[in-house]
Amino acid sequence: MNTTTLIIPKKNINKNTNLKILTWNILASEWIDDDTYNMVDKKILYNNKERIQKIITYLVKSDADILLLQEVMPYEYNKIKKAFEEKYNISMLQQINWDIIKNNSGNVSLFKKAIFHKDNLEHNALDFGIYTKCKHKKKVCAIFNIHLDDISINLRYKQIKSLTPIIGSITNCIIGGDFNHQYNKNTKFYKIPDFIIHNKCHSYYIEKKMIIDNILSKGFKILPNSKCPLYPKNIEQGFIKYGSDHLPIIAQVGGPT
């Protein structure tokens, strides 16, 4: 099997203050089973090497300033670290204990070195992700990479509310990740005071079209929304193109106010 050689272009330090943010649940192999994904050829579904290659290639092409990834297995983490460590500062793999068996995958946050100096990055573990305190244009920022509970609405509310002390004390904040909560304009869940909701695109395609992955920001200048990712015609085509059951979501914000 031919493998794609990744060439990560070197760029000069970004002179403007805009930030490109990507969030993506890349689908941990520990969640893959024949019943849930019975419409995908097993040679495609269980080819982890091919899946992570597609994901890394997409991430490279996105050239985002901040990458927020969820459901990363240790194997994928090592692959991502090798592919991106020259260009990005990479957090630890913050594993999330879903249950006794499925507790190996977690969240990883990557920050472009040309914009974020490693000495200005402080990664902190959350039960449901990573909180990174950093500086951008000399201003303190809080970046949350989250993966909320997939069953209990009450627990999701509790998890979001647990961020209140931090987002209440820091002017410039970004919350990105898998919210596991359907968005619509009347959903109170996403109505966090002073935050802008950036994603209105469908990001999940297994059960039905759902908007459950998002990027929210507070204290950053508002820019036009990025284009929606190409929605697959069917589930197998989605795996062929993306390697995951979630679609990558991208938003751009202006510099901190």
pLDDT of residue 99: 83
Mean pLDDT of 69-90: 98
Give domain status of residue 252, yes or no. Answer: no
Bridge partners of residue 134, in order along the sequence: 121, 141
Taking only the tens place, the pLDDT of each residue in 195-218 is 999 999 999 999 889 999 999 999
Supply the CATH number for residue 163's domain.
3.60.10.10
Phi, psi of 19 (to 5 degrees): -125, 135
Taking only the tens place, the pLDDT of each residue in 224-237 is 888 999 999 999 99
Give domain status of residue 253, yes or no. Answer: no
Structural domain harbouring 187: 19-217
Give domain status of residue 9, yes or no. Answer: no
Quick check: 14 pLDDT over 90?
no
- Write the burial class of residue 133 (CB in 10 Å: 0-12 exposed, 13-18 middle, 19+ buried): middle
Give domain status of residue 155, yes or no. Answer: yes
CA separation for the pair 137, 128 (Å, rounded)? 28
Using the CB atoms, write b or e for 144-182: b if 16+ within 10 Å. Answer: bbbbbbeeeeeebeebbeebeeebeeeebbbbbbbbbbe
pLDDT of residue 9: 43
Distant-in-sequence, close-in-space partners of 151: CB < 8 Å, separation ≥ 6: none
Report pTM.
Answer: 0.93
Give domain status of residue 138, yes or no. Answer: yes
What token pair was written down for 178? 């898998």
Give domain status of residue 46, yes or no. Answer: yes
Q: Strands 121-126 and 129-136, how do they pair?
A: antiparallel
Distant-in-sequence, close-in-space partners of 59: CB < 8 Å, separation ≥ 6: 22, 24, 67, 80, 83, 84, 248
Give domain status of residue 245, yes or no. Answer: no
| Domain tally, the chain | 1
Give domain status of residue 161, yes or no. Answer: yes
